[in-house]
Amino acid sequence: MNWQIERSGDKVLLFIYGGNGERGVGMKCNYCEWHCELGDDNYGVCRMYHEENGAIKERFPHKWCTYAISRVESVPFYHAYPGSRSMVIGTTGCNMACRYCVNAFVAKEEPAALQDKMYAFAPEALVRMAVKRGCHNIIFNVNEPAVSLPSLVEVSKVARVAGIPMGCLTNAYTTEEATELLASIFSFVNVSLKGLANDFCREYLGIPDINPVLRNIDKLASLTHVEVTTPVIQSVNDHEMDQIAIFLADVDRQIPWHVFRLLPEYKMKEALYPNIEAINAALEKSRELLPYIYFHNFVGSDWVNTLCPRCGTAVIERFSLGCGGDRLDRYNCRDKACPDCGYEIKLYGDRVEWNAQGGQL
């Protein structure tokens, strides 16, 4: 890959090299599929980068909108480090324009206008806080990580030394090069596959088509642990559930698929909430293809447990508290296998007790 991360004072730089080894000038950004032409005052779709002296620079390096404590199941990750305590972080900006975005107050606001509310932490300070608070991992989950990749590269280097793995949520609307960079930063990733139809992508996501996301799910699945989340909007993308399941099964039948009952915000606050019974019925055929389908984001879901694909035993039981409040109830696996029939359950990392690291909350 022809890129290199460097530091210059308090600035984090990405240099893109041409075939002759020279740094580019007057550059197009190569982080996401928009390939924005960047300049001193041209910050691209995400409004988080600019070009200066042949380098792509972050406008606001190491500025974080949050550094909160969460349960890994709430993020959600159901098959990575079950029961673990996570530090969740985020920045500002996004390269999509989802009409229903629940984090639009961070992702879609002008980043410069939010800087007086941000936290400035160098990578060492951020990781030190995670260790002090007893966190087992760090997860970027508020906005799109592709808009802050140089900072995240630096955090990952410090976290790796401290023995803390990193995960993220991403829309995966990234270039092939940036997707490989994501996989080098994050050892577990949840990709938001929001829909398939081009009309849906243009009207609801603000992108031309979903093909780069599909390509990157396939790539990420070959490089790191992947889970997928699909926010369901009734009468908009709910008819695509079977097609999405077919695609995921072609990539890897063992991919955990989170089907979210979307509670729309931003430009869709008046939209009706999806009908639970109707969405669950629409998933019945898909369950024949994928053994790990979870339907949640509402209180009391009956579809958050991991069942053994061979014998149906509940090998991991969870509570669904709604709105990102899921938590582990019982972990019944033995050495990542079903206790009844011995079938191996796809899991990344070991079961972790919430207070295993101690820490201050």
Residue 177 domain-assigned?
Answer: yes
Residues 129 and 33 occupy one common structural domain = no
Q: How far apart are CA 315 and CA 86, in angstroms?
A: 22
Contact 192, 147 (CB under 8 A): no
Cis, peptide link before residue 145, omega less than 30° from 0: no
Residues 97 and 145 occupy one common structural domain = yes
Residue 321 domain-assigned?
Answer: no
CATH code, domain with 248: 3.20.20.70
Q: Is the pTM of this model over 0.85?
A: yes
Q: How far apart are CA 114 and CA 356, in angstroms?
A: 35
Residue 308 domain-assigned?
Answer: no
Is residue 349 left, alpha or beta, with left meaning phi > 0 and alpha meaning psi from -120 to 50? left
Residue 309 domain-assigned?
Answer: no
Which two structure tokens, joined as six digits, stand for 207?
Answer: 């992108």
Q: What is the pLDDT of residue 204?
A: 96
Residues 152 and 258 occupy one common structural domain = yes
Place of tokens 């509940």: 314
Contact 190, 81 (CB under 8 A): no
Contact 351, 331 (CB under 8 A): yes
Residues 47 and 101 occupy one common structural domain = no
Q: What is the pLDDT of residue 302?
A: 94
Burial class of 26 by CB neighbour count within 10 A (0 to 12, 13 to 18, 19+): exposed
Contact 98, 266 (CB under 8 A): yes
Write down which residue in 300, 329, 353 finishes a domain.
Answer: 300
Residues 108 and 31 occupy one common structural domain = no
Instruction: Provide the strand spans (E) within the chain.
Output: 3-8, 11-16, 49-52, 55-58, 63-64, 66-71, 85-90, 119-120, 137-140, 166-170, 188-192, 225-232, 257-261, 293-296, 306-307, 314-319, 327-331
Residues 25 and 170 occupy one common structural domain = no
pLDDT by residue for the chain (361 residues), tens only, comes to 344 555 445 444 454 443 344 444 458 899 999 999 998 788 999 999 998 888 889 999 999 999 999 999 999 999 999 999 999 999 999 999 999 999 999 999 999 999 999 999 999 999 999 999 999 999 999 999 999 999 999 999 999 999 999 999 999 999 999 999 999 999 999 999 999 999 999 999 999 999 999 999 999 999 999 999 999 998 999 999 999 999 999 999 999 999 999 888 899 988 888 899 999 999 999 999 999 999 999 999 999 999 999 999 999 999 998 877 799 999 999 999 999 999 999 999 999 998 877 665 5
Q: Which range of residues forms the domain containing residue 37?
A: 3-58
Write down which residue in 58, 81, 100 finishes a domain.
Answer: 58
Residues 97 and 160 occupy one common structural domain = yes
Q: What is the 3-state secondary structure (H, E, C) of 69-135?
A: EEEHHHCCCCCECCCCEEEEEECCCCCCCCCCCCCHHHHCCCHHHHHHHCEECCHHHHHHHHHHCCC
Report in angstroms the alpha-carbon separations of 135 from 131, 139, 162: 6, 10, 11
Q: What is the pLDDT of residue 1?
A: 38
Q: What is the pLDDT of residue 8?
A: 47
Residues 33 and 125 occupy one common structural domain = no
Report in angstroms the alpha-carbon separations of 127 from 61, 121, 137, 141: 16, 9, 10, 16
Residues 179 and 279 occupy one common structural domain = yes
Residue 259 domain-assigned?
Answer: yes
pLDDT digits (tens, 9 = 90+) for 84-135: 999 999 999 999 999 999 999 999 999 999 999 999 999 999 999 999 999 9
pLDDT digits (tens, 9 = 90+) for 268-280: 988 888 899 999 9
Q: What is the pLDDT of residue 99?
A: 94
Residue 152 domain-assigned?
Answer: yes
What length does the chain have?
361
Residues 77 and 19 occupy one common structural domain = no
Q: What is the pLDDT of residue 360?
A: 58
Residue 286 domain-assigned?
Answer: yes
Residue 334 domain-assigned?
Answer: no
Residues 94 and 237 occupy one common structural domain = yes
Residues 227 and 262 occupy one common structural domain = yes
Give the total number of structural domains in the chain. 2
Q: What is the pLDDT of residue 11?
A: 45
